Amino acid sequence: MITNTLSKETQLRLVDFFNQSIDPESMAKAIRQVNYVLALNAIRDSETLQTEISLENNFYWLNRLAEILNPYLDVE
């Protein structure tokens, strides 16, 4: 697991982004939509595992980010 912390400038930029540009729920929805399209595209277009392996990691991390921004899978 990576333990690097974000710089103060990066933290400020992220806060500004979510305060001024898009709310976390909308960003999480956009991430989930993109992940869905990417997954469908990978399934339809690629029959080799080489592409799918790198997409699998990206899919996982984007889903984790979406869950941080707007927990969806943890809703009871």
Residue with tokens 């992220």: 14
Q: What's the one-letter identity of residue 61?
A: W
Residue with tokens 């979406």: 66
Query: Three-class SS of residue 12?
Result: helix
pLDDT-based confidence at 61, cuts 50/70/90? confident
What's the pLDDT tens digit per position in 26-35?
Answer: 999 999 999 8
Mean pLDDT value across residues 40-62: 70
Q: Which pLDDT score is estimated for 76?
A: 55
> pTM for this one?
0.69
Q: Which pLDDT score is estimated for 31?
A: 92
User: d(Cα 76, Cα 74) in Å, to the nearest integer?
Assistant: 6
Q: Which pLDDT score is estimated for 47?
A: 60
